[in-house]
Amino acid sequence: MRLKAIAVMAGVALCATLSASLHAADYPTKTITIVVPYPPGGPTDIVARTLANSMERTLKQPVVVDNTSGAGGTVGSAKVARSPNDGYWLLLNNIGMATTPSLYRSLPYKPDDFTPIGLVATMPTVIIARKDLPANNLDELLAYIKKDPTKVNYGHSGIGSAAHLCGLLYQSAIKTRVTTIAYKGAAPAMTDIMSGQFDFMCEQTSSTVPFVESGKVKAMAVTSKKRLAQLPDVPTTAESGLAALDIGVWHGVYAPKGTSKEVVDRLSAALGEALRDPAVQKRYAEIGAVIAAPEEGQPAPLMNLQQAEAARWAPIIKAAAEYAD
C-alpha cells in the first residue's frame, strides 16, 4: 500500500510538472497585466506604458497597465504578490522595492514574494531651488543652510518617494537636518516651489527639467554620474564635491514568487527586445531616463541591484527615523 501511495504521489507530481511545462510552452495565450503601484502620469507609469507597448508586439498578446496606487506603492505591490504566478500579472516598481522594507515597519507582503524579471531604466534626479533663492550651486546652498538650518525648508513628494529619499541622503551627506515638508505627489510640490513656498527639493527629471528650462526653478546639480543631455550646463553632484549624493530611481519588472523559469525566461527575452526598441529608447530619453542595457533586463542584475540598494538605504532611513507607517 505504501509503495502504491508513493507511486500515485509521484504520478501526480509528474503530471503537475508536465502541465506547467506545457503552460510555459504556450505562454502567453491571453492579456498580460502590468501593475504600476502609483497614479497615472508619473515617471513609473510612463516607463511602464512605453514598455508595455513594445512587449506586446514581441509577446503577440495585449499588455495592459493597471494603476493600483496607495500607501507609497505597497497596495499595488501587495496585489501582485497575491496574484497567480502564471505570468499574467506583473509588477513594474522602482527603488521602492529596496526601501519599503525599511520605511514600513509592517508590510502586507515580504520582499521575497516576487520573482525578478529584469531592470528597465533609471531616472536621475535634479536638485532644484526656488528661483529667488540666494544660492546658485551646491556650495552656496550648503553655506545658506549652515547659517540657520531651522529656517531652511526642504519639500518632497511623500514619505518613501524619490524626493524624500534624496533629501535624506543629502542631509546625511552634509550632516545637517533641515525642516522637511511632505506633499501628496510631485505635482503639488512643484507648484509650491515655483511659487516660493519652500526652498529646495530633489525630484526626478521628468518632473523637473521642463521647469528648469523655463526658468521657473533653478537647478543646482544632477544626481547622475554624467551630466544630462537636457541640462548640459548643470553639474553633477560629484563635480560639485558631493559624490555621496548619487541616487537614481531605477525601475524593474517583477512576477509573483514561484513563477516558472520558462515563463520568466520568456518575459526577460521580451524585455530585452523592448530595451533594443528604438521607440522605447527615444521615449525614455525624452523623459531623461537612462535605459538599461539589454543584458541588464535579466533577473540576476535586478536582484543584485535591489539587494545592494536595500543594504545602502536601511541605515540612512533608520538614522532619520522617518517612517511611512
Exposed/middle/buried for residue 79 (C-beta within 10 Å: 0-12, 13-18, 19+): buried
Q: Which residue blocks in the chain are alpha helix, DSSP H?
A: 2-26, 43-59, 74-81, 96-103, 138-147, 162-174, 186-194, 205-213, 261-276, 278-286, 299-320
When pLDDT is averaged across residues 67-77 and rounded to a whole number, the result is 92
Band (323; pLDDT cuts 50, 70, 90): confident
What pLDDT sits at residue 7? 52
Q: What is the mean pLDDT of residues 171-186?
A: 92
Listing DSSP states for 273-299 in one string gives HHHH-HHHHHHHHHTT-EEPPGGGSSH
Q: Give me the chain's average pLDDT, please.
A: 91
pLDDT at 116 over 90: yes
* 161 to 70, 129, 209, 249: CA distances (angstroms): 12, 18, 18, 10
pLDDT at res. 18: 45
pLDDT in tens, 13-62: 454 444 545 456 799 999 999 999 988 888 899 999 999 999 999 999 99
Instruction: Report pLDDT for 21.
Output: 52
- Which residue type sits at 231? L
Report percent pLDDT > 90 for the chain.
78
* DSSP letter, residue 236: B
Is residue 168's pLDDT more than 90? yes
Percent of the chain surpassing pLDDT 70 = 93
pLDDT tens-digit profile of 273-322? 999 999 999 999 988 899 999 999 999 999 999 999 999 999 999 998 88
Task: Tell me: pLDDT of 246 over 70.
Answer: yes
Between CA 124 and CA 181 the distance in angstroms is 22
Give the mean model confidence (pLDDT) for residues 70-88: 95
Residues 245, 223: contact at Cβ < 8 Å? yes
Per-residue pLDDT tens for 182-236?
Answer: 998 888 999 999 999 999 999 999 889 999 999 999 999 999 889 998 899 999 9
Contact 43, 206 (CB under 8 A): yes
pLDDT for 4 equals 58
Output the CA torsion 73→36→231→195 (10° steps): -60
Q: Tell me what the mean pLDDT of segment 129-144 comes to.
A: 97
- Give the Cα-Cα-Cα angle 44, 48, 49 (nearest 5 degrees): 120
